[in-house]
Structure 1
């Protein structure tokens, strides 16, 4: 046989054949196991609200954030209605009120309803296109009257944030006759600007019918240096502020909110997922495997010659 041409004796040949067979079986089992472990079921975030209320004519946003989505599509539909509203970024109903806002860095697929009306009220389903029944329910309430008209500015967000978690602050500024032209953000007196390197994101949009300019400041992967006083200032010189403290928690006993695999917090909101838990992916290099075979051949060859 071809191995004997290299001068390997019978004992060495038997040893080499055993090692090669063992390596092949090991590689096959690793591939089977890793193939089973690579897939992770999508998981809904419970940080997003599952019960929202808007006045008639406002822009309603139903948030849906999903981890491990992979190549799956997000589907929105209204409960108890047979047709879907959206699939991915595409709207499948002849209604200009609906749109999709995909916020990639927050893994969100949000359903937007422009100038919401009482007929839009109800329970909406954010689904994932899998054979499993994966969905999250969001209740939309619509008050059948325009939002109260008032001038002012308001800021909201968590006062305490664990180190590494995002800081998310929202500011709404309302003008007398129209939305303010702009909103500026400051931290400890220093103006903040969008910075992808520092993971600082600022989003703005205006609602003409409510004369409101909406802005969200997000700082991903917060650090201790992000603690401080955050100020929101409109171009009408309306100012409000909020103190944020980043906590240096070595270990977290349990994440408050965050991505979870259980059901939502509201009475009607729920999500389901298979009971199996995700496991780390097992990776193996084919090149390393063949390198191992080569080294095995050399070792067995040397041993067989020593025995001979």
Structure 2
């Protein structure tokens, strides 16, 4: 036993033991890599007479709730003579449900359709009025030999409006009301956006005048700026930014006169004075107990 213990302290034996442990730990990791690799896209072989997928570059699709999603699948070298035996199908991986085969839909959910113009290589899956539940992986399969499959990841987001600043705004009478609304969106899903005061949509051509909107659109968001010049007491109320197919956002605007503004500031400063008085009493109590 002493000989074995002494042998373990030999540098060469320690090095061999360390290498053996490293090899033992790395074997499962290599196995996992092989599993991950096997789950990747099976493109098929180019420069052959067999069907294969066109390179998409990105297999992630993002859609907004309520909008249409198009999942791409372009199959090259799909000979019409093989149409009787070679089929293009869409499978939902979550439940392995067959959604479509060729141009036919095999689900009772009528939101799923195949976009396949005649004599084209496109076999895209269209999902109208997307919901959160539609998020997940969908697989475009071609029943060639060998079978090829293309997984597409669908990400679903909700469009939501946000008015910058506090939920209540106090403005002096005669000043300009400036409200900025930001909506997360995608360039192809940018819809209309309206402003409301109460339940009435603002009319930019109303006799009141001085009402205008500036809109800026980028691939990721829409920004709408509302301006009302010469604010009057009648302009007070709830202002709502209401985009199409998105959750609205509301801010309450108070238009006040000079003396009312001073009263608002006085009322807002009362809690701070109370806190200061409470702090003073706590300090006096602590000093009295010493």
Tell me the TM-score normalised to structure 2 length.
Answer: 0.38
Tell me the TM-score normalised to structure 1 length.
Answer: 0.36
Q: Which has the higher contact order (CA 8 A, sep 6+)?
A: 1
